[in-house]
Amino acid sequence: MSITRSFLDTPFVRRSNRLRTFITAAWLGWQIESNWADPFLFAIYSIVRPVTSVLILVVMYSVITNGALQEPIFAYIYLGNALYILVGQVITGVSWSVIDDREHYRTLRQLYTTPMDGYFYLMGRGVARLIIGLISVLITIGFGIIAFQLPISIGAINWPMLLASTILGVLSLAAIGMVVGSLTLMLARHFWSLGDAISGALYLFTGAIFPLDVLPAWLRPIGFAFPVTYWLELARRAILGPNAAKFPTLSGFSDLELTGILAAITLMLLVFSWFFYRWALHRAKENGIFDMETSY
């Protein structure tokens, strides 16, 4: 708390309501996500769970391919799935706090009578899950290197491209999370976890596990519209090198082209989420959603 305290008191942060909101919300999110009574549970949640889900995939893969774990395409698929952990974590991280604050902590009214900025509040609340997600991704990849000899060498990674694409990818996911959160705010229904549902449903459309070309032509646009598709491709190229085995779907595009597409979609999503949030808030106030205290 003391670090956050002094940080919030720097003149730069003090002057900006949005920055202050964002940091305070991130602090709150971290208290909630990391303050597990039991560190053991925390470890299961952020380490064991993701690793197991990747293990399931590895087992399926090796059954289907007769144990061809040395094939170069395996590393590509493994990485895609490891990175995909972030999708659910970020979308849910940003959107879930609406339900959490409204129905669990019942603080929505208290929050929305302060001058804090709701958009930056939700974004801030997502930071904790992003951090946990990143830890899970690193652990999963590390596990892959040790257990399956994934051909990854730290020195050969294209760090600028990995960093840039991941920042864009995370921003786009946060924007999607904002849209989901706004929907939740507006509809006052108890979506258990729309974020998880969406990330689950889109799993098949992002080339995480099989190329988009496998899908019927009329379903493919979903994958091409979803920024994660480009982020996964760029991140995998950055980690494995441009010549590693990969799905043919996006092989016609250069790194720069893919980055451009990802940046454009991300920007569009951010702008859209900004206006969508304002509109949802207006609807919520029109319909009296802040009253809502659906029993939990």
Q: How far is the CB of 280 from another protein (least distance, A)?
A: 13
The overall longest dimension of the chain from CA atoms, in Å, is 61
Q: Which residue is at the shortest CB distance from ligand ATP?
A: 288
Say which amino acid occupies 225: A
Q: Which of 65, 68, 70, 105 binds another protein (CB under 8 A)?
A: 105
Of 3, 37, 76, the residue nearest 242 (C-alpha): 76
Closest contact distance (angstroms) between CB of 116 and another protein is 4
Regarding 286 and contact with ligand ATP (CB under 6 A), the answer is no
Q: Of these partners, ligand ATP, another protein, none, which one is at the site of residue 21 (CB under 5 to 8 Å by kind)?
A: another protein
Instruction: Give the Cα separation of 18 and 21 in Å (integer).
Output: 5
Its sign, for the CA torsion 130, 131, 133, 134, is positive
Contact between 9 and another protein by CB under 8 A: the answer reads: yes
Number of residues engaging another protein in binding (CB under 8 A): 33
Closer CB to another protein, residue 27 or residue 276? 27
Phi first, then psi: give them for residue 110, nearest 5 degrees: -60, -45
* CB atoms inside a 10 Å sphere around CB 195: 28
Exactly one of 39, 155, 248, 288 binds ligand ATP (CB under 6 A); that residue is 288
User: What number of residues does the chain have?
Assistant: 296
With binding defined as CB under 8 A, does residue 280 bind another protein? no
248 binds, among another protein, ligand ATP, none (CB under 5 to 8 A by kind): none
Residue 153 contacts residue 241 (beta carbons within 8 Å): no
Chain residues that interact with ligand ATP, rule: CB under 6 A: 288, 291
